Amino acid sequence: QAQLVESGGGLVQAGGSLTLSCTTSVGTVSSYTMGWFRRPPGKEREIVAVITWRGGKIYFQRIVKGRFTISRDDAKNTVYLQMNDLRPDDTAVYYCAASENHSNDYLATPDDYDHWGQGTQVTVSS
C-alpha cells in the first residue's frame, strides 16, 4: 500500500501563494496518475487537478485555472500544486491521491484513486 505524504498547507492572506507537495513511499509518482483533491468546509471532496503518469495535466475546476499549477519532479519523487492568488473560497483540506489506472487519463472522482494522503489544511483569510 503506497503511503502518500502531503506538506505545505497553512494560513495565508487572500492574494497570497502556497505550494503543496506530495511524495510516495512506494513506487514513484511517475508510475501513478496523481491527483489533487480538496474538501471545502461543509462540502464534498472535489477534484482540482491531475497529472497523468505520462505527464499530461488536467485542471478540473474552472476557478483555479490560471491560478493553480500541477507539476511533478521525478528526481525528487514529488508532485506539487502551486497555488497563486489564493481566495477565501480556496479554503479546504487538500488531498493528494494516486491512481494505478494507466488506461484512462480522465480520473475525476475519489473512487478512481487507490491511495490517499492524510490531507493538509489550507486556510485563506480575507
Tens of pLDDT, residues 33-71 = 999 999 999 999 999 999 999 988 888 888 888 999 999
Asked whether the predicted pLDDT for residue 2 surpasses 70, the reply is no
Distance between CA atoms of 43 and 2, rounded to whole angstroms? Answer: 27
Confidence of residue 109 (pLDDT cuts 50, 70, 90): very high
Please give the pLDDT value at position 79: 97
- CB distance 117 to 95 below 8 Å: yes
Query: Which residue has cell 503506497?
Result: 2
Residue pLDDT, tens place only, 70-84: 999 999 999 999 999
Is 1 or 112 the better-scoring residue by pLDDT? 112
Residue pLDDT, tens place only, 12-29: 999 999 999 999 988 899
- Which grid coordinates are listed for 112? 478512481
